[in-house]
Structure 1
Amino acid sequence: MLELRASDVVIRESLRELVSLGLARAEDKCRYRLDPTKPALADMVGRLELLYRERQVTVIEAIFARPEDALQSFAGSFKIKRD
Protein backbone atom coordinates (compact mmCIF):
# COMPACT_ATOMS: atom_id res chain seq x y z
CA MET A 1 0.00 0.00 0.00
CA LEU A 2 1.52 3.28 -1.03
CA GLU A 3 -0.57 5.66 1.01
CA LEU A 4 -2.78 5.51 4.06
CA ARG A 5 -5.03 8.42 4.89
CA ALA A 6 -4.54 8.49 8.63
CA SER A 7 -2.04 9.94 11.04
CA ASP A 8 1.10 7.99 11.91
CA VAL A 9 -0.15 7.68 15.49
CA VAL A 10 -3.47 6.14 14.42
CA ILE A 11 -1.73 3.74 12.06
CA ARG A 12 0.82 2.63 14.68
CA GLU A 13 -1.88 2.13 17.34
CA SER A 14 -4.10 0.22 14.90
CA LEU A 15 -1.26 -2.07 13.87
CA ARG A 16 -0.29 -2.65 17.51
CA GLU A 17 -3.91 -3.58 18.26
CA LEU A 18 -4.10 -6.01 15.31
CA VAL A 19 -0.92 -7.71 16.55
CA SER A 20 -2.19 -7.90 20.14
CA LEU A 21 -5.47 -9.44 18.94
CA GLY A 22 -3.57 -12.13 17.03
CA LEU A 23 -4.65 -10.90 13.60
CA ALA A 24 -1.32 -9.61 12.27
CA ARG A 25 2.41 -9.84 12.86
CA ALA A 26 5.27 -7.43 12.37
CA GLU A 27 7.75 -8.52 9.70
CA ASP A 28 10.10 -5.68 10.50
CA LYS A 29 9.86 -2.13 11.84
CA CYS A 30 7.74 -0.86 8.93
CA ARG A 31 6.00 -3.93 7.51
CA TYR A 32 3.12 -5.96 8.89
CA ARG A 33 1.36 -9.01 7.53
CA LEU A 34 -2.16 -10.27 8.13
CA ASP A 35 -1.54 -13.57 9.90
CA PRO A 36 -4.33 -14.83 12.19
CA THR A 37 -2.86 -16.90 15.01
CA LYS A 38 -5.90 -19.11 15.60
CA PRO A 39 -8.09 -21.09 13.19
CA ALA A 40 -11.22 -19.27 14.38
CA LEU A 41 -9.60 -15.90 13.58
CA ALA A 42 -8.48 -17.14 10.16
CA ASP A 43 -12.04 -18.31 9.46
CA MET A 44 -13.45 -14.94 10.53
CA VAL A 45 -10.98 -13.07 8.31
CA GLY A 46 -11.88 -15.31 5.38
CA ARG A 47 -15.60 -14.72 5.87
CA LEU A 48 -15.02 -10.97 6.17
CA GLU A 49 -13.01 -11.01 2.94
CA LEU A 50 -15.86 -12.78 1.14
CA LEU A 51 -18.43 -10.39 2.59
CA TYR A 52 -16.30 -7.41 1.53
CA ARG A 53 -16.18 -8.74 -2.05
CA GLU A 54 -19.96 -9.21 -2.10
CA ARG A 55 -21.05 -6.11 -0.13
CA GLN A 56 -18.17 -3.67 -0.07
CA VAL A 57 -20.23 -0.56 0.70
CA THR A 58 -22.04 -2.25 3.59
CA VAL A 59 -18.76 -3.36 5.17
CA ILE A 60 -17.21 0.10 4.80
CA GLU A 61 -20.31 1.74 6.30
CA ALA A 62 -20.17 -0.66 9.25
CA ILE A 63 -16.50 0.14 9.84
CA PHE A 64 -17.08 3.88 9.87
CA ALA A 65 -20.43 3.90 11.66
CA ARG A 66 -20.43 5.45 15.08
CA PRO A 67 -21.04 2.80 17.75
CA GLU A 68 -24.34 4.37 18.81
CA ASP A 69 -25.54 4.32 15.17
CA ALA A 70 -24.76 0.61 14.95
CA LEU A 71 -26.53 -0.07 18.24
CA GLN A 72 -29.55 1.99 17.19
CA SER A 73 -29.75 0.11 13.89
CA PHE A 74 -29.58 -3.24 15.71
CA ALA A 75 -32.24 -2.19 18.19
CA GLY A 76 -34.42 -0.88 15.37
CA SER A 77 -34.50 -4.30 13.78
CA PHE A 78 -36.59 -5.52 16.74
CA LYS A 79 -39.28 -2.83 16.51
CA ILE A 80 -42.78 -4.09 15.97
CA LYS A 81 -44.50 -2.20 13.18
CA ARG A 82 -48.19 -1.54 13.49
CA ASP A 83 -50.36 -1.57 10.41
Structure 2
Amino acid sequence: MGVGARIPLGGAIDGISNGRLRNAFVVVPENLPKGFELPSGHVNLLTLVGITDKEFAAGRAEGGDVLAARLRSTSTFPVTVP
Protein backbone atom coordinates (compact mmCIF):
# COMPACT_ATOMS: atom_id res chain seq x y z
CA MET A 1 0.00 0.00 0.00
CA GLY A 2 1.32 3.41 -0.92
CA VAL A 3 0.37 6.93 -1.92
CA GLY A 4 -2.57 6.87 -4.34
CA ALA A 5 -3.89 3.48 -3.20
CA ARG A 6 -7.66 3.17 -2.93
CA ILE A 7 -8.95 0.74 -0.31
CA PRO A 8 -12.54 -0.58 -0.29
CA LEU A 9 -13.76 -0.78 3.29
CA GLY A 10 -16.77 -3.05 2.69
CA GLY A 11 -19.10 -0.64 4.47
CA ALA A 12 -19.44 2.91 5.72
CA ILE A 13 -16.26 4.46 7.08
CA ASP A 14 -17.79 4.92 10.54
CA GLY A 15 -18.81 1.25 10.66
CA ILE A 16 -22.39 1.91 11.69
CA SER A 17 -24.21 4.15 9.21
CA ASN A 18 -25.27 3.84 5.60
CA GLY A 19 -22.92 6.72 4.73
CA ARG A 20 -21.47 7.25 1.27
CA LEU A 21 -17.83 7.17 2.42
CA ARG A 22 -17.13 3.48 1.89
CA ASN A 23 -13.49 3.61 0.77
CA ALA A 24 -10.17 5.07 1.88
CA PHE A 25 -7.58 6.88 -0.23
CA VAL A 26 -3.91 7.09 0.76
CA VAL A 27 -2.31 10.55 0.52
CA VAL A 28 0.76 12.35 1.83
CA PRO A 29 -0.29 14.42 4.87
CA GLU A 30 -0.40 18.17 4.37
CA ASN A 31 -0.61 19.21 8.00
CA LEU A 32 2.05 16.86 9.39
CA PRO A 33 5.70 16.19 8.64
CA LYS A 34 6.11 13.86 5.67
CA GLY A 35 8.22 11.56 7.83
CA PHE A 36 10.95 11.24 10.42
CA GLU A 37 14.14 9.35 11.11
CA LEU A 38 14.67 6.45 13.50
CA PRO A 39 17.96 4.70 14.20
CA SER A 40 16.66 1.88 12.00
CA GLY A 41 15.78 4.17 9.06
CA HIS A 42 13.31 6.65 7.63
CA VAL A 43 9.56 6.50 8.40
CA ASN A 44 7.06 7.96 5.90
CA LEU A 45 3.75 9.22 7.28
CA LEU A 46 0.60 8.69 5.23
CA THR A 47 -3.01 9.80 5.70
CA LEU A 48 -6.18 7.87 4.88
CA VAL A 49 -9.01 10.03 3.53
CA GLY A 50 -12.57 8.74 3.18
CA ILE A 51 -13.92 8.68 -0.39
CA THR A 52 -17.19 7.70 -2.06
CA ASP A 53 -17.65 4.86 -4.54
CA LYS A 54 -17.85 7.50 -7.30
CA GLU A 55 -14.51 9.01 -6.22
CA PHE A 56 -13.02 5.50 -6.00
CA ALA A 57 -14.06 4.84 -9.62
CA ALA A 58 -12.73 8.24 -10.74
CA GLY A 59 -9.40 7.45 -9.11
CA ARG A 60 -9.25 4.18 -11.02
CA ALA A 61 -10.14 5.86 -14.33
CA GLU A 62 -8.11 9.06 -14.01
CA GLY A 63 -5.35 8.09 -11.60
CA GLY A 64 -4.53 8.88 -8.01
CA ASP A 65 -2.84 12.21 -8.76
CA VAL A 66 -5.97 13.58 -10.43
CA LEU A 67 -8.18 12.34 -7.59
CA ALA A 68 -5.83 13.85 -4.98
CA ALA A 69 -5.85 17.21 -6.77
CA ARG A 70 -9.64 17.17 -6.95
CA LEU A 71 -9.95 16.34 -3.26
CA ARG A 72 -7.36 18.97 -2.28
CA SER A 73 -9.43 21.62 -4.07
CA THR A 74 -12.22 21.20 -1.51
CA SER A 75 -12.28 23.26 1.65
CA THR A 76 -12.50 20.22 3.94
CA PHE A 77 -9.58 18.11 2.68
CA PRO A 78 -8.22 16.00 4.39
CA VAL A 79 -11.05 15.89 6.95
CA THR A 80 -13.50 13.01 6.54
CA VAL A 81 -17.04 13.65 7.77
CA PRO A 82 -19.14 10.48 7.53
**TM (normalized to structure 1)?**
0.29
Q: Say which structure is richer in strand.
A: 2
Q: Name which one, 1 or 2, has greater alpha-carbon Rg.
A: 1
> TM-score, with normalisation over the residues of structure 2?
0.29
Q: Which has the higher helix share?
A: 1
Bigger relative CO (Cα 8 Å, ≥ 6 apart): 2
